[in-house]
Every structure is written in structure tokens, then in C-alpha cells.
Amino acid sequence: MTITKVIQIKSERQLERSLAYIIDANKTENETLVSGHALNNVHNAEFEMLRTRRFAQKLKGHYSNGKDEVFAHHIIQSFPPDAKITKEQAHEIGEKMMLQFTEGKHEFVIATHVDKGHLHNHIIFNATSNVDLKKFRWKKVTASILYKISNDVSLEYGIEPIKSTLDSKYKAYEKYRKEMTFSNEIKQRLNFLISQSSSFEDFQRKLPLLNLQGDFYTKSGKLKKYATYKLLDFPQQRAKRDATLSKKGDYLLKNLEAQFKKNEVVLSEDELIEGYEKIKRDVFALPDVEIIIEPWQVSQQDEDFIYLTFDYGIKNQGEVRIHKSQFLTQEDGNYKLQLKHSDFSFWSIQNIKVKVVILNRVS
């Protein structure tokens, strides 16, 4: 299975540096694995792409929205280490994928890198079409379209895509949920510790009492811009950065001191563990929910989603779409949807509160 990911290029400087990186002779066998589409010279690609962009702006008017304007897209297409293809074939796959993906309407440079343990393509294509001068709009479904094209072309060369089943989707979701559990657990402990610390020094002393490891200082002893946290009693591999735990910046080091000053009375180190255990018993210890869906309740399904019809109000009917990753197939043909208390923040994003009410009405 090939893997694709994309990076948006939002400045002329970034475009220049990205193009220089991908055509590096040391990575592309002295540039023998570099080619371009609708370009006179790959070494002049930056100038030609920017010329197309400026011509479109002059003809159609300025469509730039400032710093968020996308100049180009950088796609990375990786092949599995056991793929039985040559480096030239890897390059061909990338070219075919891009011609189909862009319909040949955008300038691009493709470079196949051979400096790692697996073959992979770097492709940079102009966000402005050199054919109709329109901007390429990267939408929510675009990554899925690219992924499908990449797999379809790779299949022509004998690279089989991984077939998704309900259970494999559920396992992928379980992996994601485990990561979410780490974050939720860290936040629960941090919230309690922040509310029970009188100063940053007090906070640091109390962290190990709740099996939390915090990394706050550089090797030179200066305070870092971002702290990281790791659970010592969970199989957490990578530490979580404070900025990723809250969009509001609740856990940023620069904001902690103000929160400590609000605490008039805090628990001592001896009282801390018992206090947290009480909070866990009273607040966090909520039961899991399991919902069984029978086949007749499914109105339709596609590769990724299951659709369920439901009644609401008086003589009203609607339909909900739930991703298959949330289900586990049962031996009797039914589907089981499992919810945990630690999922609540995720489910609210997915509007799961509405769905749980709907699904629970089913006998």
C-alpha cells in the first residue's frame, strides 16, 4: 500500500527551499530521478510557477488572502519497503498519479528519493493552473481522492492496497482512542494539580505524586516555551506537549502562574493522592456504554460509513451517518458500538450525544 501526505507551501521562500530539497542530487541519484510537467526546466521551476501565478493575478485580479494563500502543494508518496518495483517504476507511478490527480492542468516537479530504507516520491505542484489559471482548492475529500488514485496506479505495478474491514477500521480507531485516553488522563491529573498548587515549584513537586512526568527546562537550565507531559503508569510512548492538550492554552507554562494565584487553599503533598482518588471515584468513574445495531436498522452503507434511519418528533424521520471505525462486527451479524467516558470530548465533536439518544431507542 502506498501512503500519501501533503504539505501546503505558503510563501515564495518556502517554495524555493522545498524545490531545492526535493531535487537534491544526493537523494535522486544525481538528479536522474527528477522530472517536470509543463515546465521548461526543473531548475527554473520556482520562476515558472510564480510567473503563472502572477499572470493569473493580473488577468483575474488578486485572489490572495494574505498569509493563508497557498502557492503550491508538496505531496509525499511513500512505498512499502517490500514493494517489488524499481526506482524508475516508482517515478512512473508518481507521474501517472499526478497527471490523473491534476488532469495535467498544473505544473509540477517530481523527484524520487532513494536515500532512505524505502522508495518515496516528492512532488510539488503549482496551486495555480497553467491551463485555465484557476486555483486548486484542497477540500476535505481531496486527500481521499489522492489516496485512491495513488493506490489504483500502484496496483498496476503489483502493490496491493490494504483492504479495510469493519474490524480493521475499529482497530485503527482503538489505537486513536488510546492516544485520546492518554491526553484525557493527563488533562484530568493536570486540572487537579493546577487547582491544588500554590506555585510553579509546588506544582513540580506534586507532579510525581500523580505519576506525571513534566519536562520544563532546556539543557542550559532555561524554561522551555512548551512543556511536555508523560504518564508514568500508562504505556505512553511519546510525551504530550502542553499546547496540544488545550486549544485555549490552559496548560501553557506562561498561563500557569496566574492560575496558581487564584488558589487560596491547596492540599498538602500528603493529602494530594487521597484527594485525587476521591475525585476519580465521584466524577470520572462512569460506566461504558454498548449499543447493538441489527442489520435491519441499517438503511445503507458505503466503504466508510453506516447510515441509520430514525424517527423524531411527530411523524418526522431522519438519517444519521456513523463512521465504520466506531463499530465492531459481531458473530451474529449485528454491529456493536462501544462508548467510553473518556471519549466524551471526541463524541461531542461527532454529535454523538444526539446519536446515542437515537440509537438507544432501538430495542
CB 93 within 8 A of CB 3: no
CB of 30 within 8 A of CB of 64? no
Residues whose CB is less than 8 angstroms from the CB of residue 209 and which lie 6 or more positions away in sequence, other chains included:
269, 272, 273
For residues 193 and 250, what is the distance between their CA atoms, to the nearest angstrom?
Answer: 13
Q: Give the whole-angstrom CA distance, residue 215 versus residue 171.
A: 31
DSSP β-bridge partners for residue 170: none
128: β partners: 135
Distance CA 162, CA 2 (A): 9
Report the greatest alpha carbon distance in the chain: 73
| The amino acid at 362 | V
40 contacts: CB under 8 Å, gap ≥ 6: 48
Give, as one character, the DSSP assignment of residue 54. H
3-state SS, residue 313: coil
Q: What distance, in Å, lies between the first and last C-alpha atoms of the chain? A: 41
- For residue 275, give the C-alpha cell: 484527594
Strands 223-231, 240-241: parallel, antiparallel or unpaired by DSSP? antiparallel
| C-beta of residue 239 within 8 angstroms of C-beta of residue 228 | yes
User: Is-catalytic flag, 21?
Assistant: yes
- Annotated catalytic residues are 21
